[in-house]
Amino acid sequence: MEVIEKEIGAAARNISPRAPEIIVMRVKPDQIGLVIGGGGKTINGIKDATKVDDITIEDDGSVFITGKNGTAQKAREMIEAIVKEYKAGEIYDGKSRD
């Protein structure tokens, strides 16, 4: 083990851009329908927009996102925005549509 630790030192901070990245997140089971959308429209839109390899949602709210070159993280951010629950007292900056 000492020889291995000496040669490797520490785990790589970033994986190769060619290697798939798997992100696991959870949504509330009652939010699954929001993420999937009618006929899969929302989830397919996320896949198309991010070019992620795959998004799988389990019945318990587990979400598995597989992608490369940051696509999985972009898909995660889109899903988080969909299921975001706003709380009283939070302050946000916004722009007018004018």
| First-to-final CA distance of the chain | 63
Q: 9-52 pLDDT, tens per residue?
A: 666 666 676 778 999 999 999 999 999 999 999 999 999 999 99
Predicted TM-score of the model (pTM): 0.76
Spans of all domains in the chain: 21-83
Q: Token pair for residue 93? A: 């900056």
CATH class of the domain whose range is 21-83: alpha beta
- Distance (Å, rounded) from C-alpha 63 to C-alpha 24? 6
Evaluate if residue 64 carries a pLDDT over 90. yes
Take residue 32 and report the two structure tokens written for it: 């699954």
Give how far the C-alpha of residue 7 lies from the chain's centroid of Cα atoms, to the nearest Å: 33
* Nearest by Cα to 76 from 52, 58, 60, 40: 52
DSSP at 68: S
Q: Who wins on pLDDT, 2 or 59?
A: 59
Residues 6+ apart with CB under 8 A from 74: 49, 50, 52, 67
Q: Which of 69, 70, 75, 71 is nearest to 27 (CA)?
A: 75
